[in-house]
Amino acid sequence: MAPDHDDDDLPLNRPTPRLQGSPSRQPSPLQWVLVGIAALVAGSLLAYWWLSRTQPVTAPPPTAMVAETDTESGRPKPQPLDLPSLEESDTLLRSLVSTLSQHPALARFLTTDGVARASTLAVVQIGDGRTPDQPLLTLRPPSRAQMRGTEQASLDPASYGRWDSAVGGLTSVAPADAAQLYVNVKPLLDEAYVELGYTDDDFDAALVRAIAMLRSAPMPAEPPALVERDGVLEYADPRLEALKPVQKQFLLIGPDNQRRVLSWLEETAGHLDLSLE
């Protein structure tokens, strides 16, 4: 093995092949601009609507009986919003998200055709242990991972920084706002979820499974060792090699980014009143 191995973001054996017809690895920044004047105007109006919170109305003190039996969820209530069809939801979703964050990585993801479907598929695949390389293709770093070592290689820790932008895009949205956005557009996600064949539960269950899958991944203090077997790089530690593909990928973003992602997901789940136990 060469001392400085230039490899893919997943230099590990993946059980699922890439689907044909994936979008280009290097999306053009102009695609975001081409969302159009209509989306810009909609975004401006929605920004005012989104940031305007209904002021609480002073209510009479609850009786002792009500106080004892009050188990109302802290989950935010859906705000009044005329949702379009799933097919025509991209412009609205781009506008809503852009009012919460202008992070470049998030903007790149929003250029994906079928944002709701891509988001749904990514969550489902993560929950199943698969790497969501197709729905999240626009978030892949432009550079490849660098290895160090000869007989037994390991990932160069500097390569963790390639994922800082993608992680920054996710965490640039405040968890409370992410939870409010989620409940507002959840009917679209539920519809996309049913399209994938899931009819026994709703999208909340898929989100919980995805978070649980990432939480169960280890967080090595040092870059894990890799070995080449039959031309494929694998983890030298059999316990790491036995992980699900998405967990192997999660290790490659680095422990600091792992903690940032998990902290954001757990806080968002808390606002949604989802049980992660």
The per-residue pLDDT string of the chain (277 residues; one tens digit each, 9 = 90 and over) reads 444 444 445 444 444 333 333 344 444 444 433 344 344 444 444 444 444 444 444 444 444 443 444 457 789 999 999 999 999 999 999 999 999 999 999 999 999 999 999 999 999 999 999 999 999 999 998 887 778 876 678 888 898 999 999 999 999 999 999 999 999 999 999 999 999 999 999 999 999 999 999 999 999 988 888 887 887 778 899 999 999 999 999 999 999 999 999 999 999 999 999 999 7
Task: Kindly give, in sequence order, each residue whose CB lies less than 8 Å from that of residue 205, ignoring residues fewer than 6 positions away.
Answer: none
CA distance 164 to 158: 11
pLDDT for position 73: 79
Q: What are phi and psi of 164, to 5 degrees?
A: -60, -40
| Tokens read off for 156 | 């160069």
pLDDT for position 230: 82
CA distance 154 to 147: 6
CA distance 35 to 158: 35
pLDDT for position 233: 77
| Tokens read off for 92 | 């609205």
CA distance 114 to 120: 10
Q: Please give the biggest Cα pair distance in the chain.
A: 74
Q: For 82-120, write each residue's pLDDT tens digit.
A: 999 999 999 999 999 999 999 999 999 999 999 999 999
Q: Name the H helices within 52-174.
A: 64-69, 90-100, 104-110, 115-127, 164-171
Task: Kindly give, in sequence order, each residue whose CB lies less than 8 Å from that of residue 33, ignoring residues fewer than 6 positions away.
Answer: none
| Tokens read off for 53 | 């919170």
| Tokens read off for 167 | 């992680």
Residue that is written with structure tokens 């992070």 in the block: 103
Name the 3-class secondary structure at 165: helix
CA distance 120 to 193: 6
What's the whole-model pTM score? Answer: 0.74
pLDDT for position 150: 64
